[in-house]
Amino acid sequence: MARLVMKFGGTSVADVARIRAAAKHVKRERDAGNEVAVVVSAMAGVTNQLVAWAGEIGAWSYGAEADAAGRESDVVVATGEQVTCGLMALALQALGVKARSWLAWQIPIVSDDAPGKARIESIAAQDLLAAMANGEVPVVPGFQGVTRGGRLTTLGRGGSDTSAVALAATLAADRCDIYTDVEGVYTSDPRVVAKARKLDKITYEEMLEMASVGAKVLQTRSVELAMKQGVRLQVRSSFSDAPGTLVVDEDEIVEKALVSGVAYSRDEAKITLSRVADRPGVAAAVFGPLAEANVNVDMIVQNVSADGKTTDLTFTVVKADLDRAVAILEARRKDLGFAGLIQDRNVVKVSVIGVGMRSHAGVAQRMFQALAEKGINIQAITTSEIKVSVLIAEEYTELAVRALHSVYGLDAD
């Protein structure tokens, strides 16, 4: 007998038929003798509709008014999960499984009071544990909390994964199963790499790196929390009974692959400042104003100065921030003293990820060589302990990803 938290995402509860199908997964686990708590997202599309209505009416962007509006927006948006919560409890009851909904304020799931992006502070476990011990399945809405003052909050996009992990930690669950519309975590995007394989296991660190470079299976915060709290995660499909991918501590993985996955992200754009003065403080002068404006800078390459006086500075920002970043830099052209600014949206970041690289040299070298053999020019490189990322021209995306997938021995038989 195990204690499980089962979380169903928006596509898994998109309509009445799918909610019934999801309830059958829960019944299967209950029939196997497990204690189960369920976390649900809003029906797919509902949150967007609610956010759109609230956004259409409330137009405050800062200050006390924005806070007041954000709180009301949360009241509106939180209803999405409340609906599925009640419907899931009904679906379980109809299958003969004892179940009831527990809304965030009923448990309570206490959060801080940042509207629209609250963080869970604590979850009271005793009522839920008592219910589970009594053979009942508590159904909990993801994505929401209640402040100490009794106002509803939402956790921000993807927050339902975080709710599920936090609940699993609170209940000391043996596992937190994230039911979604994919079969698990793959070695690469199956739409690009036909030979991509589903991984049986992956480490938290690898999952985090994959999430940060474009694999959108799990929300980053939820993985961080699972790693910190030691919650074993499983990503699996609500449309099949096949086991998915376990996200676990490195210790649980005996044979560590050198590279577990190849990911890519088309979200970034490249900016090059040419002939920037090569003196101390220049980097701070460039990136300070961007940071203040909440523009995240990812890859940074600074060449050695050729003439001893100026250098070229290349970096990437997310595409949505590109225009803003360019405007900020152009406004400071005089102070920064660069000769030219070149922007390029046609780039892709390709990454290889694997905890095995910690103990093996040559992983990056093999990557550069494979790309060179295909005639692909590398525009920028960044590395972390378990990841190597390169920036290349977007048109080479598929060619590069498939080549790397093959080079590191990830292709399915």
Residues in contact with a copy of itself by CB under 8 A are 16, 19-20, 50, 53-54, 56-60, 65, 68-69, 71-76, 78-79, 82-83, 85-87, 89-91, 93-94, 100-101, 103, 105-106, 150-152
Classify burial at 370, counting beta carbons within 10 Å of its beta carbon; exposed 0-12, middle 13-18, buried 19 or more: middle
Choice between 105 and 368, CB closer to a copy of itself: 105
Q: Considering the complex, what minimum distance in angstroms separates the CB of residue 91 from a copy of itself?
A: 5
391: closest CA among 273, 302, 264, 207?
A: 264
Q: Considering the complex, what minimum distance in angstroms separates the CB of residue 46 from a copy of itself?
A: 10
Q: Considering the complex, what minimum distance in angstroms separates the CB of residue 98 from a copy of itself?
A: 8
Q: Cα dihedral sign for 243, 247, 250, 255?
A: positive
Choice between 95 and 381, CB closer to a copy of itself: 95
Choice between 84 and 260, CB closer to a copy of itself: 84
Choice between 103 and 165, CB closer to a copy of itself: 103
Amino acid letter, residue 133? A
Other residues' Cβ atoms within 10 Å of the Cβ of residue 350: 25
40: closest CA among 71, 80, 76, 2?
A: 80
Choice between 101 and 379, CB closer to a copy of itself: 101
Q: Specify whether the CB–CB gap between 182 and 245 falls below 8 A.
A: no
How is residue 186 annotated by DSSP? B
Q: Considering the complex, what minimum distance in angstroms separates the CB of residue 88 from a copy of itself?
A: 9
Q: Considering the complex, what minimum distance in angstroms separates the CB of residue 10 from a copy of itself?
A: 15
DSSP E strand boundaries for 12-148: 35-40, 99-101, 109-111, 120-123, 137-141, 144-146
Choice between 141 and 356, CB closer to a copy of itself: 141
Q: Considering the complex, what minimum distance in angstroms separates the CB of residue 146 from a copy of itself?
A: 10
